[in-house]
Amino acid sequence: MKFSDWEPHYTAILEYFGFEREADEAAARLLAELAGGRDDLDLLDSIIRDRAVTVCGNAPCLKEELDLIGGVVLAADAAAEVLADHGIRPDAVFTDLDGATDVFIDLSGQGTVMVVHAHGDNIPLLRHWVPLIPGPLVATTQAAPLAHVHNLGGFSDGDRAVFAADALGAARVQIIGFDLSDPGVDPVKRGKLFWAGKLLRLIGYEV
């Protein structure tokens, strides 16, 4: 999705949550600096293009749906640790780092592509984790893209993974471990789930 097409949705998200574009832009600039020119988008493209993809959300139901996994495996943030605990190494992890643990660093060292997202609330996490990532790295933003910081569409970790798979030409995408009607989440998370569903429907996916 071109940024010109994404921007109206991004503006609506900012207004809905009261987020500041300037903070997102500052985080993207910091991520570009921390990444130091590292950009493995071509590798991610080669992994996904023309392949069947499974996007794994981090809802509790993921553990019950692991037998559905097939093809290229994309994990949304903390789903990566669930997969690793069950002997599954995701091909890529989409994360704003709020679920990051040392398992992410181990997976990176084994070749998992870390797709790290910058937004106004995760600057301390970027500073801590990005320098520790030893393997392939793709930097992303929800604001206007920069050199080596991409915007493939999407807002939260799970829907960004689906947007990326779609943008990079996956043959088909199945989605597991998503629960967009989870009643046990706080109001901000509930809003994020609402937007995840809205954005996924925008590109033709229902969860």
Domain edges within the chain: 3-202
Residue 159: pLDDT over 90: yes
Secondary structure (3-state) at 141: strand
CB under 8 Å to 182, separation ≥6 — which residues?
A: 59, 189, 190, 193
Across the chain, the runs of DSSP E, i.e. the strands, are: 52-56, 72-76, 92-95, 113-118, 137-141, 149-150, 172-176
Question: Mind listing the pLDDT tens digit for each residue in 21-33?
Answer: 999 999 999 999 9
For residues 177 and 79, give the distance between their C-alpha atoms in angstroms, rounded to a whole number: 8
The stretch 41-60 carries a mean pLDDT of: 97
- Write out pLDDT tens, residues 59-117: 999 999 999 999 999 999 999 999 999 999 999 999 999 999 999 999 999 999 999 99
Cα gap 192→155, rounded to integer Å: 8
pLDDT for 1 beyond 90: no
Split at pLDDT 50, 70, 90, the class of 168 is very high
pLDDT at residue 185, as a whole number:
86
pTM, 2 dp: 0.97
